[in-house]
C-alpha cells in the first residue's frame, strides 16, 4: 500500500459559490476519490485550517506521497513547515504539486525558481498531449485528451528544465505550457501537473484521475537505505591513508 496524503489549502471552497458548486466535497475530496479507486492507494486528506496545518509531524511520518494544492493563503503557511516538508522530499517522500501550487513556497523552494506563469480565466478548452509515451505517468492514457474548461497557463513557465516531461498542454487561446513535469530532488521525486483550477471540476475527469494515480505511484519512495555522505574510509587498503 502507498500512503497518500491529499493536502488542499481549502480556502476558495469557504467563500466562492462557484467552487462550492464544482467541488462540494472540497478539491481534496475529489482528488481523494480519484485516488481511492485504486486498491493500492491508502488515502487521507487535510486542509490548511486543520490542526498542525494538516501537515503534523505524525501525519508526515506516515506519508509516502504528498499531493499538494494551494493558491491564496501561502502567506499563512509557516516557513518552518515548508523547510520540514522540503527536507522530507529530499529524504524520499514523493510530492505531487497541482495547478497553482507552482507558486507555493514549497514548490519554489524545491525548484529554485519563481514558478510564475502567464494565466487567464476564460473557460478555455485545453488539450493535453502525451510527449513521453513510455513514461509510467502516461500509462493507460490516449495520445492526447481534452478538458472542456480550464484556466490557461502559458509559457514562459519559470521552472528549471524538467528531468522528464510527460505532458504539453495547448489552450484554445493559442498558448502552450509544459503541463506534466517530473523532477528528481535528493532521494525524492516531484511531479507537477497543471490542470485543476478551482472553478472547473476537472479532478473528476477520468483521464485526470488516471494521471493522478499514475503520478502517485511514480513518486512513491522506492525503498532503499539513505545515501551516506561525508568523510569516508577507503574500501580498499590505501598506503597513504591515515
Ligand atoms: Zn487557477
Tens of pLDDT, residues 20-64:
999 999 999 999 999 999 999 999 999 999 999 999 999 999 999
Largest CA distance in the chain: 75
* Predicted structure pTM score: 0.97
**231 alpha carbon to ligand 1 midpoint, in Å?**
47
**184 alpha carbon to ligand 1 midpoint, in Å?**
25
Question: What confidence score (pLDDT) does residue 242 get?
Answer: 64
**70 alpha carbon to ligand 1 midpoint, in Å?**
9
Question: What confidence score (pLDDT) does residue 94 get?
Answer: 98
Question: What confidence score (pLDDT) does residue 119 get?
Answer: 98
Q: What angle do CA 233, 235, 240 make, to 5 degrees?
A: 60
**179 alpha carbon to ligand 1 midpoint, in Å?**
13
**120 alpha carbon to ligand 1 midpoint, in Å?**
9
Q: Is the torsion defined by CA of 45, 49, 52, 55 positive or negative?
A: positive
| All domains of the chain in start order, with CATH | 2-219 (3.40.50.880)
**101 alpha carbon to ligand 1 midpoint, in Å?**
9
Tens of pLDDT, residues 128-181:
999 999 999 999 999 999 999 999 999 999 999 999 999 999 999 999 999 999
* Residue 2 pLDDT exceeds 70: yes
**200 alpha carbon to ligand 1 midpoint, in Å?**
9
For all residues of the chain together, what is the average pLDDT?
97
Amino acid at each position: 500500500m502507498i500512503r497518500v496524503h491529499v493536502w488542499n489549502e481549502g480556502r476558495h471552497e469557504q467563500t466562492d459559490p462557484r467552487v462550492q458548486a464544482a467541488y462540494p466535497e472540497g478539491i481534496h475530496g475529489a482528488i481523494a476519490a480519484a485516488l481511492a479507486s485504486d486498491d493500492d492507494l491508502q488515502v487521507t486528506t487535510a486542509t490548511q485550517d486543520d490542526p498542525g496545518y494538516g501537515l503534523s509531524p505524525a501525519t508526515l511520518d506516515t506519508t509516502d506521497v504528498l499531493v499538494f494544492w494551494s493558491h491564496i493563503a501561502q502567506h499563512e503557511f509557516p516557513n518552518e513547515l515548508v523547510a520540514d516538508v522540503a527536507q522530507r522530499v529530499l529524504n524520499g517522500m514523493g510530492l505531487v504539486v497541482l495547478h497553482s501550487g507552482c507558486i507555493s513556497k514549497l514548490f519554489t523552494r524545491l525548484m529554485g525558481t519563481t514558478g510564475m506563469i502567464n494565466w487567464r480565466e476564460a473557460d478555455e478548452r485545453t488539450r493535453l498531449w502525451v510527449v513521453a509515451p513510455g513514461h509510467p505517468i502516461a500509462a493507460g492514457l490516449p495520445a492526447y485528451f481534452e478538458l472542456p474548461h480550464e484556466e490557461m497557463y502559458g509559457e514562459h513557465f519559470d521552472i528549471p528544465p524538467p528531468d522528464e516531461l510527460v505532458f504539453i498542454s495547448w489552450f484554445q487561446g493559442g498558448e502552450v505550457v509544459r503541463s506534466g513535469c517530473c523532477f528528481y530532488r535528493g532521494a525524492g521525486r516531484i511531479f507537477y501537473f497543471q490542470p485543476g483550477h478551482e472553478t472547473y471540476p476537472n479532478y473528476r475527469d477520468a483521464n485526470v484521475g488516471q494521471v493522478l494515480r499514475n503520478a502517485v505511484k511514480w513518486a512513491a519512495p522506492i525503498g532503499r537505505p539513505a545515501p551516506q555522505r561525508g568523510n569516508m574510509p577507503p574500501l580498499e587498503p590505501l598506503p597513504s591513508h591515515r
